[in-house]
């Protein structure tokens, strides 16, 4: 009798034990960090590709970086969170248009920033998983420039994949930074003016890159 109670107690304890072990011990293979690593390795390959080096290849190189990096991004979600609750009142066509412009803005700034990380090393510091959200913390270590740049990613599961919905460079969240800019424009001028400003910015930045 005592023996049976002991066994059931043991089983229960074992069950509790496993239930309480932090999730990230199980998630090694398919976890956010692993998925991000694959994407970052591809990015580094592009950055270190000799046939893509030099200022004259910049446009092509940025194109390739964007292809690799944005594959791991949930662009629609980034755009949505950057706009805030006004997103709800947009039509599907408006949402797509906005997302497309947002992607082009990111290409101008984020991709150019990433491009300057060519001869740097990425060290993975921490992976925090909570439910379907996660944060992966990395450090961009530049030996040649004597600096370390903390670069963190926020990810969320979408259809079984961990996709990035925010990037935090040196403590500055990209989504939050855009939200602080979009908010006042939406409030004072409205959506069509916001779109007009984004289109203008994208065109202006494009001109600079060609020249």
Partner 1 sequence: MSRKYLVILILLSSFLIVNLGSATLVCQAAADDIVADNDEYSEYDAEVGGLSDPLEMVNRPVFTFNDRLRLWILEPTARGYRKVTPRMFRAGLLNFFDNLLEPTRFINCLLQGRFNAAGETFMRFALNSTVGVGGLMDPATFDGMKTHERRFASTFAHYGIHSGPYLVLPFFGPSDLRGIFGLVGNTLTQPLFYILRSEPLVAVAVEGSKSVNHVSFRLGEYEKMISGALDPYVAVRDAYEQHQQKVMGEE
Q: How far is the CB of 44 from partner 1 (least distance, A)?
A: 19
Contact with partner 1 (CB under 8 A) among 146, 188, 192, 210? 146
| Calpha distance 77→61 (Å, rounded) | 25
Q: Which stretch binds partner 1 (CB under 8 A): 26-34, 35-43, 65-73, 181-189?
A: 181-189
Q: How far is the CB of 49 from partner 1 (least distance, A)?
A: 21
Structure tokens at 99: 């997302």
CB of 91 or CB of 171, closer to partner 1:
171
Contact with partner 1 (CB under 8 A) among 42, 58, 63, 197? 197
Contact with partner 1 (CB under 8 A) among 46, 52, 106, 151? 106
Binding mask 51-90 for partner 1 (x = CB under 8 A): -----------------------------xx--xx-x---
Q: Does 11 bind partner 1 (CB under 8 A)?
A: no
Check the CA dihedral 23-29-35-36 and report its sign.
positive
Q: Does 170 bind partner 1 (CB under 8 A)?
A: yes
CB of 39 or CB of 152, closer to partner 1:
152
Sites of contact with partner 1 (CB under 8 A): 2, 6, 10, 13, 16-17, 20-24, 80-81, 84-85, 87, 105-106, 108-110, 112-113, 116, 128-130, 133-135, 144-147, 154, 170-173, 175-177, 179-185, 194, 197-198, 201, 205, 208
């Amino acid at each position: 009798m005592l023996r049976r109670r002991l066994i059931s107690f043991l089983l229960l304890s074992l069950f509790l034990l496993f239930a309480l072990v932090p999730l990230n011990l199980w998630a090694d293979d398919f976890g956010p960090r692993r998925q991000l690593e694959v994407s970052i390795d591809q990015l580094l390959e592009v950055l270190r590709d000799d046939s893509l080096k030099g200022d004259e290849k910049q446009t092509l190189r940025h194109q390739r970086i964007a292809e690799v990096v944005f594959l791991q991004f949930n662009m629609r979600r980034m755009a949505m969170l950057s706009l805030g609750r006004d997103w709800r009142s947009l039509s599907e066509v408006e949402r797509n248009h906005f997302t497309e412009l947002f992607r082009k803005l990111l290409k101008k700034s984020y991709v150019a920033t990433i491009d300057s990380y060519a001869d740097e090393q990425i060290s993975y510091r921490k992976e925090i998983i909570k439910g379907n959200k996660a944060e992966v913390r990395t450090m961009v270590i530049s030996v040649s420039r004597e600096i370390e740049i903390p670069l963190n990613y926020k990810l969320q599961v979408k259809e079984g994949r961990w996709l990035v919905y925010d990037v935090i460079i040196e403590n500055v969240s990209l989504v939050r930074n855009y939200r602080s800019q979009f908010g006042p424009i939406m409030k004072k001028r409205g959506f069509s003016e916001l779109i007009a400003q984004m289109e203008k910015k994208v065109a202006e930045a494009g001109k600079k890159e060609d020249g």
